[in-house]
Amino acid sequence: MSGSIDLVVQGGRTLIDGDVIETSLEISGRTIGAVGGDARGSHTLDASRLLVLPGIVDLHGDAFERQMMPRPRVDFPIDVALIDSDRQAISNGITTVYHATTWSWEPGLRNADNARQLLAAIETLRPRLAADTRFHLRHETFNLDAEAEIQQWLKDGRIDLFAFNDHMGLALASLNKPHKRSSMVERTGLTSEAFNELVARILARADEVPASIDRLAKTAREAGVRMLSHDDVSPAMRKAFRANGVGIAEFPVNEETARAAADGGDDIVFGAPNVVRGGSHTGWTKASEMIEKGLCSILASDYYYPAPILSAFRLAADRVLRLPDAWNLIAAAPAQAAGLTDRGILAEGRRADLILVDDEHPLRPRVVAVIAAGRLLHLTEAHRLAAGQSSRLKPIAAE
């Protein structure tokens, strides 16, 4: 490619075409200008003894909710929460982040006002955020009153990923379990009696839910928005969503459903924390086993931003996958599923999203530097950067 070279990432063990090779990358503007060669740029970043990997693409992360409400009924401003979450994501190598925002029939953290405010805040703050920040709306299918507004958001191009959630069954199951019931009621801010009345009103409209799903899916298809279904419980449920153009299965709850998704050519998302912890916190499907069986194509941060990078190295250490194949689960595959053709791999002409990782302790990889869209945004070893100042090199964290 022609154009001046702004940065050379030199001598790292770099993931290229499914293999790790020692080479250099030339970055020009927002893109990778060339792989290999001995060109010199206005700056050089010494990647010796480090891995150079594509930036992580996180399709589903809601850890930002902990910044918004670190304790029940303890709120912090949304802009503060998003900026802090952005720093957490970048420092863990996540260069593209989809904030999974739930709009539920419940009041409290996941109510209509919060969904609206989150979307507006993301749109306003996006130019200031280090990660490429996108809006993933998780629509609770029993939230029928939200349908018209969500359809308009889809038509206006304000939603980047759209998921169908149905946690009504979980809510009903929790009603008879005192601890879970108490947690759910506390989250809504309602009294126990008021919560019971709310659930009864919502359930009374259950017959309207399938048609609402059909209408929303049609709007999303027409708008070109990729869709996901969450916690599919059976092959029949997955088949029904696939028939509506929903091509991504998020967290299928059993192997039978995951296999039906794979057989149908769907992308299958599991949580990276599941891999790191050795199993699901809900007691459902074990992600590492699904990966071994070819029933997982994508890992997402879910509720913990450090999890994607830790999960890839855990899979490699446990010999479930080679590191390049494990990295595909958190970079190339999610980028492809989301329709982002400009990232996920390191190649000439691709967006310059990459991270430098110290893997001396394989189960505890350390992110040394993060470059997103050609900008150096995180650096923990300043001595590795040679040359003077540049407007494109703006570390946001150093130690």
Say what the pLDDT of residue 190 is.
Answer: 80
- Tens of pLDDT, residues 49-95: 999 999 999 999 999 988 888 787 788 889 999 999 999 999 999 99
Mean pLDDT of 345-371: 97
What residue spans in the chain does CATH classification 3.20.20.140 cover? 57-337
CA distances from 114 to 99, 152, 208, 311, 364 (A): 13, 17, 25, 31, 35
- Tens of pLDDT, residues 285-326: 799 999 999 999 999 999 999 999 999 999 999 999 999 999
| Exposure string over 23-53, b if 16+ CB within 10 A, otherwise e | bbbbbbbbbbbbbeeeeebebbbbbeebbbb
What CATH fold (topology level) applies to the domain 57-337?
Answer: TIM Barrel (3.20.20)
Is residue 329 scored above 90 in pLDDT?
Answer: yes
Q: Cα separation of 131 and 91, whole Å?
A: 10
| Exposure string over 100-138, b if 16+ CB within 10 A, otherwise e | bbbbbbbbbbbbeebbebbbebbeeeeeebbbbbbbbbb
Is residue 44 scored above 80 in pLDDT?
Answer: yes
Burial status of residue 283 (CB atoms within 10 A of its CB: 0-12, 13-18, 19 or more): exposed
396 band by pLDDT with thresholds 50, 70 and 90: very low
User: Domain 7-54+344-386 sits in which CATH superfamily?
Assistant: Urease, subunit C, domain 1 (2.30.40.10)
Cβ contacts of 153 within 8 Å, gap of 6 or more: 119, 137, 159
- Tens of pLDDT, residues 4-22: 779 999 999 999 999 999 9
Q: Are 278 and 288 in contact (CB under 8 A)?
A: yes
Say what the pLDDT of residue 144 is.
Answer: 96
DSSP assignment string, 220-259: HHHHT-EEEEES--SHHHHHHHHHTT--EEES-SSHHHHH
Say what the pLDDT of residue 174 is.
Answer: 57
Angle, helices 209-223/147-155, rounded to nearest 10 degrees: 10
Compare 389 and 345 and report the one with higher pLDDT. 345
Say what the pLDDT of residue 388 is.
Answer: 47
What residue spans in the chain does CATH classification 2.30.40.10 cover? 7-54+344-386
